[in-house]
Structure 1
Amino acid sequence: MPLSVADFAALGDTPITIQSTFFANVYLRMDGTGVTTFTGPGGGTVNCQFGAGPLEKFQLRAQADGSFSFESMAFPNVYLRMDGAELPTVTAGPGGGTVNCQFGVEPYEKFKLHAQADGSFSFESATAFPNVYLRMVGSGVTASTDGGGGIVNCQFNANGGGHEKFLLNVAG
Structure 2
Amino acid sequence: MRIPQREKERDVMPLSLADLATLGNTPITIKSWFFPNVYLRMDGAGVTSFNGSGSGTVNCQFGAGPLEKYKLHRQTDGFFSFESVTWPNVYLRMDGAGLVPGGAGGGTVNCQFGADTHERFKLFPQSGDSFSFESATVFPGVFLRMVADKVTVATNQGGGIVNCQYLEDATRFGPSGGAHERFILDVAS
Indicate the TM-score class for this superposition, using the shorter chain for normalisation.
over 0.9
Aligned length in residues? 170
The alpha carbon displacement at 1:90 in A equals: 2.5
Unaligned runs of 5+ in 2: 1-12
- Closer, same or farther in 2 for the Cα pair 1:68/1:165, shift >3 Å? same
Residue in structure 2 matching 1:91, options 99, 102, 109: 102
SS at match of 1:2: coil
Residue 20 of structure 2 is aligned to residue 8 of structure 1: yes
Residue 71 of structure 2 is aligned to residue 54 of structure 1: no
Residue 75 of structure 2 is aligned to residue 72 of structure 1: no
Find the counterpart in structure 2 of residue 42 from structure 1. 54
TM-score, with length taken from structure 1: 0.96
The alpha carbon displacement at 1:92 in A equals: 4.9
Percent of aligned positions that are identical: 66
SS at match of 1:27: strand
Q: What one-letter code is carried by the residue in structure 1 that aligns with 2:160?
A: G
Q: Which runs of 4+ in 1 moved over 3 A?
A: none
Quick check: which has more Rg, 1 or 2? 2
2:186 and 2:27 map into 1 onto residues whose CA distance is 9
Find the counterpart in structure 1 of residue 182 from structure 2. 165
Residue in structure 1 matching 2:112, options 85, 102, 107: 102
Deviations 1:46-77 (A, max 9, x none): 00000000000000000011100000000000
2:64 and 2:48 map into 1 onto residues whose CA distance is 24
2:97 and 2:37 map into 1 onto residues whose CA distance is 30
The alpha carbon displacement at 1:118 in A equals: 1.6
Query: Which residues in structure 2 correspond to 1:109-124 (within 5 Å)?
Result: 109-124=119-134
Residue 137 of structure 2 is aligned to residue 130 of structure 1: no
TM-score, with length taken from structure 2: 0.88
Higher relative contact order (CA 8 A, sep 6+): 1
CA-based RMSD: 1.0
Unaligned runs of 5+ in 1: none
